[in-house]
Amino acid sequence: MATASPLPSNSSPTSTLPPSQPPPPPTASTPTDFPFPPHYSFPPFFTLQPTASTRSSQLSSWSTFIQSYCRHHRIFSLSLIDALETPLFNNTALRRRLSVRDAQSILSWMATSDGGNRAEFVSTGKKKASASASASASDEEGGRCWIYWRRPEEWSAVVEEWVERTGQRGTVLTLYEIVDGDASRKEEFWNMDIELLMRSLAVSVKRGKAQIFGGEGSEGVKFF
């Protein structure tokens, strides 16, 4: 396994990374045309630096990159162990990859308020993952975590807007119709994990915008 090398001799440990940008909107695209950011070809990007200012910039840039990558490919959750072998964390052309420890640190930072609560480890819960970049957070279930390029409350608003736009208020919709139906095929939430959909619908229920019917595995939802 190739490991990231130290900073090149002509770089200082405090060199800054390009400023992060908001994730671009999804497009109807193929898996090979994701626009990798310029710093993806910058070797030090794949090793978290000890200097506070540089590390903060890296964490922010990694978070933006992960959200953009997952949004582009409609990825709602990651297994850390599996993701380490993908282009998300492994630049084969550069022969650099992110270490398990650094990947844990990035995802744990994303799970904090400083990181915008843009990730959440499924096995251990956000609070524990936020407290430290512990190995246990990624060991359980391969370190599966949600990647919130939209948080549940944001997905709630997106689904509500779709229901309103398509004239489906007052209609009981199955969960399958929402995430796998023909009417939602062009929507961002198409093919969403059912668990994440339920979390998002719970926000709508709490806000008095929806009601869930039926038992587990046969739920339906009506929007008001």
Same topology between domain 43-147 and domain 152-223: yes
Maximum C-alpha span of the chain:
65
Beta bridge partners of 77: 146
- Cβ atoms of residues 101 and 47 within 8 Å: no
The token pair at 75 is 């990825």
C-alpha 195/C-alpha 76 separation (Å) is: 10
**Nearest C-alpha neighbor of 88 from the set 109, 62, 59:** 62
- State the DSSP H helix or E strand holding residue 221, giving kind and residue range, or none if neither: strand 220-223
Residue with tokens 């710093």: 39
pLDDT at 33: 87
Torsion sign over Cα 144, 150, 154, 158? negative
* The pLDDT of residue 142: 57
Q: What residues in the chain have per-residue pLDDT under 70?
A: 1-32, 123-142
What class is the 43-147 domain?
A: mainly alpha
How much is the pLDDT for 32? 57
For domain 152-223, say whether CATH 3.40.50.1100 is its number.
no
Overall size of the chain counted in residues: 224
Quote the CA–CA distance of 189 and 207 in Å, as a whole number.
Answer: 20
pLDDT in tens, 104-126: 999 999 999 999 999 999 864 44
The domain limits of the chain are 43-147, 152-223
At 143 the pLDDT is 82
Q: Which residues contact 152 (CB under 8 A, 6 or more apart)?
A: 196, 199, 200, 202, 203
